[in-house]
Amino acid sequence: MKKRHVLAVAMAATAALALTACQQGSATGGDDGDTGGGEGGGEEVVNLEFQSLSDQPLAMEAVQGIVDDWNAENPNIQVELVQAGWDGIYDKLITQFNGGTAPDIIHYEAASIAPFAVDGYLADLTDLIDPAFASDVTEGIWESVTVNEEIIAYPTTLQSYMVFANVDLLEAAGVEIPSGPTMTWDELREIAQATTTDGQFGLGWGLSNPTATFMSLGLGFDGGYFEGSGSDVTIDVGEGELAVPEAIHQMTYEDASLDPVSLTQSGSEVLPAWYAGQTAMTVQGSFRVASIGTDAPEGFNWAVLPPLEGSVSADQAANPQTYSVNIDSEHVEESAQFLDFFTSTENLAALAYADALVPASTSARDALAEQTADETGWAEVLASGDSLVAPPFLTVDAYTQWKDTVATPAFQRFLADEIDSAQLQADLTDGWEQVNR
């Protein structure tokens, strides 16, 4: 029997997502006496409640447009869009599920929605997803939304970590802009060294909260950290797991090509120095490709470099935004029908463009590539979508607790040069044993 409770203490801090109050309401069906008009001529209307977390104006407009189009074409299945927000949403969902007021359709992200699936709150969508969409998404992305061999969400948009470069500074240093399908870490280090001068660093990297970045980019070195799933998990912090933090440490303290102040800042806090020419490159979430075009100074000449490739691959963690269906909804199949429409090539491309994210489906990426052919950086960002795979931590029960209480403080101390690699390895390993007892 599936559990019907959420372990709030164990999971309550799940990734930097969540809050904003929003109206609650139970999933509604056609039992209120409403009847369909138009082509439905008297048929009972199915009403679906769709809780969306999209909070950027363009994304909110795109979601509303998709819902409006659906409602116009489907008079007997009407979707009510309920706007929530990312802040506090995890606790809100706990309250909604425990109180029986969760919406029919639930927007979230893979790492955070998985515990609700484990506890039996989400419908199995495996046999309801349009086969065309199922075959249009890579296996690695599907794995990120699969729990106990059940697909518990439609994956939609994702981010990767990309290197953004001031083209003028690279050219002034005699650096040829990389143009291949990927770029190695050695190339990144060489460019950072070549563009470091008095008063100018080659690289600025906002790593005030480094764990997600290290866990994602570590996959390129086969650094998965965890073996197993649920509570039956062991940790292995070896060469692959330490490769990314060690590379950053070397650039900072051996090469002096990475601004040490940036390691204590957020990604957005690093951007002003990059715009001002104080750093030649910065690593950011791929979504920055949209805002840089409007936020950068007039005439700022920038580019996105090819995705970083580790010793094994260019893999990064797939943690897509997701759309799930409440298992207690009276209209699971109708909800899946709407989500098939929501994730169509045209709609998913529009949503990804509005949020400046990578679409989960290959056809949507191709459509967006055509749409953005003349826009800086999009080609490289979309290319990174080919290497997004499900990371091991998605199925680890105590991951969030370990990340917040063990990994992040340990990585921060390492980046501040307070501990060495051996101590970092010990802290990460011993800390896991403490939280996973």
Q: Give residue 31's pLDDT.
A: 40
The verdict on residue 1 lying in a domain is no
Residues 154 and 175 reside in one and the same domain: no
Number of domains the chain is built from: 2
The verdict on residue 2 lying in a domain is no
Q: Give residue 230's pLDDT.
A: 87
The verdict on residue 313 lying in a domain is no
| H or E, element range at 281 | strand 279-285
- Expressed as residue numbers, the domain containing 56 is 8-159+318-390
Q: Give residue 5's pLDDT.
A: 42
The verdict on residue 187 lying in a domain is yes
Distance CA 327, CA 343 (A): 20
Determine contact, residues 20/89, Cβ cutoff 8 Å.
yes
Determine contact, residues 70/48, Cβ cutoff 8 Å.
no
CATH assignment of the domain containing 261? 3.40.190.10
Distance CA 142, CA 400 (A): 21
Residues 139 and 168 reside in one and the same domain: no
Q: Give residue 42's pLDDT.
A: 58
Q: What is the pLDDT along the chain (437 residues), one digit of tens a residue?
A: 344 443 333 333 333 333 333 333 334 343 443 433 334 445 799 999 999 999 889 999 999 999 999 999 999 999 999 999 999 999 999 999 999 999 999 999 999 999 999 999 999 999 999 999 999 999 999 999 999 999 999 999 999 999 999 999 999 999 999 999 999 999 999 999 999 999 899 999 999 999 999 999 999 999 999 999 888 999 999 999 999 999 999 999 999 999 999 999 999 999 999 999 999 999 999 999 989 988 999 999 999 999 999 999 999 999 999 999 999 999 999 999 999 999 999 999 999 999 999 999 999 999 999 999 999 999 999 999 999 999 999 889 899 899 999 999 999 999 999 999 999 999 999 999 999 98
Closest alpha carbon to 385 in 406, 363, 370: 363
Residues 52 and 103 reside in one and the same domain: yes
Distance CA 9, CA 398 (A): 10
Determine contact, residues 76/36, Cβ cutoff 8 Å.
yes
Q: Give residue 19's pLDDT.
A: 32
Q: What ranges make up the beta strands (E) of 1-86?
A: 46-52, 77-83
Q: Give residue 395's pLDDT.
A: 87
Residues 219 and 253 reside in one and the same domain: yes
Determine contact, residues 329/335, Cβ cutoff 8 Å.
yes
Residues 55 and 28 reside in one and the same domain: yes
Q: What are phi and psi of 325, to 5 degrees?
A: -120, 130
Residues 299 and 403 reside in one and the same domain: yes
Closest alpha carbon to 53 in 19, 24, 27, 78: 19
Residues 12 and 105 reside in one and the same domain: yes
The verdict on residue 311 lying in a domain is no
Q: What are phi and psi of 322, to 5 degrees?
A: -130, 160
Q: What are phi and psi of 402, to 5 degrees?
A: -65, -45
Q: Give residue 293's pLDDT.
A: 83
- Written in H, E and C, the secondary structure of 375-400 is CCCHHHHHHHHHHEECCHHHHECCHH
Residue with tokens 């990340």: 403
239-253 vs 185-194: helix crossing angle, rounded to 10: 10
Phi-psi region of 88 (alpha: psi -120 to 50; beta: other; left: phi over 0): left
The verdict on residue 312 lying in a domain is no
Distance CA 144, CA 6 (A): 20
Residues 412 and 271 reside in one and the same domain: yes
Residues 258 and 170 reside in one and the same domain: yes
Residues 86 and 191 reside in one and the same domain: no
The verdict on residue 279 lying in a domain is yes
- What tokens does 413 get? 């101390």
The verdict on residue 196 lying in a domain is yes
Phi-psi region of 322 (alpha: psi -120 to 50; beta: other; left: phi over 0): beta
- What tokens does 219 get? 């996959």
Residues 35 and 147 reside in one and the same domain: yes
Residues 117 and 12 reside in one and the same domain: yes
